[in-house]
Amino acid sequence: MPAAQDPGPLRHFLQLRDFSAKEILYVIERARLIKDKFKRYQPHHTLHDRNLAMVFEKASTRTRVSFEAGMYQLGGSVIYLTTEGSQLGRAEPIEDTARVISRMVDLVMIRTFEQTRIERFAAHSRVPVINGLTNEYHPCQILADVLTFVEHCGAIAGKTVAWIGDANNMAYTWLQAAELLGFTLHVSGPPGYRLDPLRAGDVGPATLREFDDPLEACKDADLVTTDVWTSMGYEAENETRRRAFADWCVDARMMKAARPEALFMHCLPAHRGEEVSADVIDGPQSVVWDEAENRLHAQKALMEFLLLGWQQA
């Protein structure tokens, strides 16, 4: 029998800054290698016999498919749980759920509401826990987005990313990425939906610049990115938000204000005619399909890193 691998200290990925810049860049390089092998139909079964539990308390297309396909491609298997289909929907405490699930599987991914809920789960888990989206953060998406940027444009350090729209889970995760990876984040959103200075913290203009005018925010950007005006869990605010965000639709004028070679990204699902015009998301600067595909490769590298640590080849 092969000797059991020492898993090292227990690590979670609950927000991007749970990893150092070196670790994030390593995962991205590893994702590129895994992607290259995938494209050449070369097996990469580094997580043979490992089991991932996926807990969804909100809807998903990309996150579910990328984690599920990814774990099978690594040689492991998955268990899919939802709130309604599990005892979570009948008020079993999240701590008890964590204690039980983590005795049976090697890794857990959760998509839920408050960040404190995933933190409570992780505090009672024996295995690594991955944030598959909370109200506050979406770190797996940013791994895929940075991977996509690097593939198209090279290193992201020193570049400018324009975030247009809601100061939501994606915006705060982009801010963590800017701090960790050394690029500048421009943010523009309507009054009432801007970054909370307390949450944003004490960051200087090399990391964060905020703009009233979205066109100004797009100026000199290497990447323009946005997201839905109403995130999951905020549906009751839909009509109010639709009115408030009307001038924050990423359109051809905004893309023209950015650098000529700027990319457009959107984590998806998108609403054409709301946060982005159809000619931008379906146009030549958009890399949204590469971005969506890269969820698969980035998360395979992430799962491997959490379970096996630094790999050589």
Q: Which residues are catalytic?
A: 111, 138, 141, 227, 267, 295
Stretch that binds ligand CP, among 18-26, 33-41, 58-66, 278-286 (CB under 6 A): 58-66
CB of 298 to ligand NVA, least distance (A): 15
Pick the binder of ligand NVA from 57, 68, 222, 227 (CB under 6 A).
227
Total residues binding ligand NVA (CB under 6 A): 10
How far is CA 3 from its chain centroid? 34
The answer to whether 231 contacts ligand NVA (rule: CB under 6 A) is yes
Helix (H) or strand (E) holding 130: strand 129-131
Closest CA to 114 of 94, 100, 90: 94
| Residues in region 233-272 near ligand CP by CB under 6 A | 267-268
**Residue that is written with structure tokens 């400018």 in the block:** 160
Strand partners, 77: 51
CA–CA separation, 156 vs 172, rounded Å?
17
CA–CA separation, 60 vs 111, rounded Å?
9
CB of 63 to ligand CP, least distance (A): 3
The answer to whether 142 contacts ligand NVA (rule: CB under 6 A) is no
Stretch that binds ligand NVA, among 41-49, 144-152, 201-209, 224-232 (CB under 6 A): 224-232
CA–CA separation, 9 vs 232, rounded Å?
33
CB of 62 to ligand NVA, least distance (A): 7
Pick the binder of ligand CP from 15, 63, 188, 299 (CB under 6 A).
63
The answer to whether 168 contacts ligand NVA (rule: CB under 6 A) is yes
Pairing of strands 129-131, 77-82: unpaired
CB of 86 to ligand CP, least distance (A): 19
Q: Which is nearer to ligand CP, 129 or 257 (CB)?
A: 129
Q: Which does 61 bind (CB under 5 to 8 A by kind): ligand CP, ligand NVA, none?
A: ligand CP
| Residues in region 268-287 near ligand CP by CB under 6 A | 268
The answer to whether 232 contacts ligand NVA (rule: CB under 6 A) is yes
The answer to whether 133 contacts ligand CP (rule: CB under 6 A) is yes
The answer to whether 153 contacts ligand NVA (rule: CB under 6 A) is no
CA–CA separation, 12 vs 19, rounded Å?
9
Structure-block tokens of residue 147 = 């991977």
CA distances (Å), origin 189, targets 164, 186, 195, 212, 293: 6, 10, 9, 7, 28
Pick the binder of ligand CP from 30, 35, 62, 241 (CB under 6 A).
62
CA–CA separation, 24 vs 197, rounded Å?
25
User: Under DSSP, is residue 35 helix (H, G, I), strand (E, B) or coil?
Assistant: helix
- For the beta carbon of residue 210, count every other beta carbon within 10 angstroms: 17
- Which residue ranges make up the site for ligand NVA (CB under 6 A)? 133, 138, 168-170, 227-228, 231-232, 267
Query: Where do contacts with ligand CP occur on this chain (CB under 6 A)?
Result: 60-63, 133, 141, 267-268
